[in-house]
Amino acid sequence: MNKRITVIKGDGIGPEIVTQAMRVLDVIAEKYGHTFEYQEINAGGNAIDLYGVPLPEESLQKCLDCDSVLLGAVGGPKWDHVEPARRPEKALLAIRKAMGLYSNLRPAKIFPQLADASPLKPSIVAEGIDFIIVRELIGGIYFGKRRTEEIDGQMVANDEMTYSEEEIRRIAKVAFNTAKKRGGKVISVDKANVLDTSRLWRKVMEEVAKDYPDVTLEHMLVDNCAMQIVKKPSQFDVVVTENMFGDILSDEASMITGSIGMIPSSSLGDGTRGLYEPIHGSAPDIAGKNLANPIGTILAAAMMLKYSFDMDEESTAIEAAVEKTLDQGFRTGDCMSEGMTRLGCIEMGDKIIENLR
């Protein structure tokens, strides 16, 4: 099978971790008889440096003319001074919008080998952490109208949060379909005691739930959910929520698993083409030092094989190689514990490839 993958190595540690993921994909191609054609583009901070904009039109077009996109990370303090309309993160928003990627799936699963690395009490971790956050990705406050103006002698800023019934309905279906393949439980997170958008969100969720009698639906306020994630994460199976709440809760959820460097994510729309990336940032403080953890990006590549290319066996092979590497006691610095062997980014890639072969 031949697949064209647009690669955005990005900023900071992005080039290092994506390179390891591409090495893993090359082994998969060799082992299973596939061909992966890579087309690398500039986006984010490096594109600003080269072209003055975070996403050149040519780069965006290559995202639209491919089977899926593999991303490292974009942004960093170097570009903090750039005007908001040209910030590195604008590249991601533009890609998601243009590709119609309205659903972001972020698993929060603790590897048994990393149980000691979780900041939660061992008794809580022992109950199990294995849930997925389904985040609406191209609506809400991040895409709403905004303005900053002077009123009565002081600056006033306004950001508008808007959701339509259809935007809510389509992300609800993603959540319920995901739950059907997992534990059959959806918890919808909102702020319905305050926000009109959340009251509409809750109404539509209940309407969609009627089409999924084998899946249970519960509602939870976002502040309570933030507490419950650290108090009793075992209660969650599928969490579905709007854009900003999902952004915050998914980062919180990633930290209880032991390391943010281990977690992949996928962004999908109505078709099979998606954008796959680790959930962490560009970590410029360790860039170029061979210290980054490539596992989140490698597992993102595995998600791409599964969800976009229908290569379940190949995806499972990568996951098994990662598990075996952890079983052997190899760690990068972010998830290091006593008695383990510390590896750099390249060496971790080497070990996973060795186990994959």
Structural domain for 156, as ranges = 119-256
Q: State the catalytic residue, choosing from 78, 97, 180, 191.
A: 191
Look at residue 225 and tell me if it is in a domain.
yes
Pair 283, 13: CB distance under 8 Å: yes
Judge if 161 and 280 occupy the same domain.
Answer: no
Look at residue 110 and tell me if it is in a domain.
Answer: no
Catalytic one of 11, 67, 247, 334: 247
> Are 278 and 324 members of one domain?
yes
Any bridge partners for residue 6, and if so which?
A: 39, 69
324 within some domain: yes
In this structure, is residue 263 part of a structural domain?
A: no
| HSE-CB of 329 using CA atoms within 13 angstroms | 4
Instruction: Kindly list the strands in the beta sheet with 216-221, ordered across the sheet, starting from the edge strand earlier in the chain.
Output: 35-40, 2-10, 68-73, 274-278, 264-268, 103-109, 130-136, 238-241, 185-190, 216-221
Contact by Cβ (8 Å): 346, 352 = no
Active site residue 142: yes
Please name the amino acid found at residue 218: E
Q: Which residue, of 207, 224, 256, is where some domain finishes?
A: 256
Q: Let me know if 32 is a catalytic residue.
A: no
Annotation says 90 is catalytic: no
What CATH number does residue 10 fall under?
3.40.718.10
- Residue by residue, pLDDT tens for the chain (357 residues) are 899 999 999 999 999 999 999 999 999 999 999 999 999 999 999 999 999 999 999 999 999 999 999 999 999 999 988 888 889 989 998 999 899 999 999 999 888 888 888 889 999 999 989 999 999 998 999 989 999 999 999 999 999 999 999 999 999 999 999 999 889 999 999 999 999 999 999 999 999 999 999 999 999 999 999 999 999 999 999 999 999 999 999 989 988 987 888 889 999 998 889 999 998 889 999 999 999 999 999 999 999 999 899 999 999 999 999 999 999 999 998 888 788 899 999 999 999 999 999
Same domain for 293 and 357, yes or no, is yes
Angle (deg, nearest 10), helices 345-356 and 295-307: 40
- 191 catalytic, yes or no? yes
What is the count of structural domains for the chain? 2
Write down which residue in 256, 285, 315 finishes a domain: 256
Distance, CA of 75 to CA of 81 (rounded, Å): 12
